[in-house]
Amino acid sequence: MSNQNGSSTILMVMLTMFLSLFFLYSIEHAKNNLLSNRSRAKAYLCMKTQLGQVATYSKRMEQFNSAIALTFKLQVIPKVKALHQTLVYSQQLYHFSFVKNLAQKGPCHFTQRLSFFKNLPYKTHARLLLKRKVNGAAVKEDKKSWQYTLTNFTGEDGAKPAFILRVKVAWSRGELKIKESQEEAILAWSRSQLFSYSPSPPAWWRSPSKLISKLTRHKPN
């Protein structure tokens, strides 16, 4: 009888341990999924926010350029000459404001904003002062296209590096348009590789979520 009780006790202990381990594993798995989903949502929200800022900025800058070019032709009129200078200064102040907005955290980690600082739509001196044509208009970036990239990995919340978002943009009829968007999965990526990954690493590809697809049809007000 005592042997049966001992066997039952051992069995219960083993069953309890198994259930406890299974429970702990389930909690850890659920936690990892939550972190992953939160990280993905933040990355896409960041890309959407930054692209929206760039689209609005490029449209307003072109409006400034048109007005500056027109008033330059009419500078023989004193009041128009003063207006021309005012427009040039106003455009520069607007550019300062845009750079300041890029620097603000919002939904983006600072590492996710670096690509937008590096690839401004207009040529500048040290990112702050606009380069200008003879007529005073800001000089647009002359590259046929360039891309903005960001990763879900920010070193916060314990989320692991999982993917990089890439969005290629180009000038089209005076506005910046999204030409291509893709998500690159990261199979293995350590912290030391965060800013030194290969431009064409072996990876599997898949289409980004509907969020980026909607952005390609978005037109700023």
Residue 4: per-residue pLDDT: 60
**Number of other residues whose CB lies within 10 A of the CB of residue 87:** 22
Number of structural domains found in the chain:
1
The domain in which residue 207 lies consists of 46-215
Residue 177 has pLDDT above 60, yes or no: yes
Asked if residue 7 belongs to a domain, the reply is no
Residue 2 has pLDDT above 60, yes or no: no
| Residues 6+ positions from 60 with CB-CB distance below 8 Å | 94
| pLDDT tens-place string over residues 122-142 | 999 988 999 999 999 999 988
Asked if residue 127 belongs to a domain, the reply is yes
**Number of other residues whose CB lies within 10 A of the CB of residue 139:** 13
| pLDDT tens-place string over residues 34-66 | 667 788 888 899 999 999 999 999 999 999 999
Asked if residue 29 belongs to a domain, the reply is no
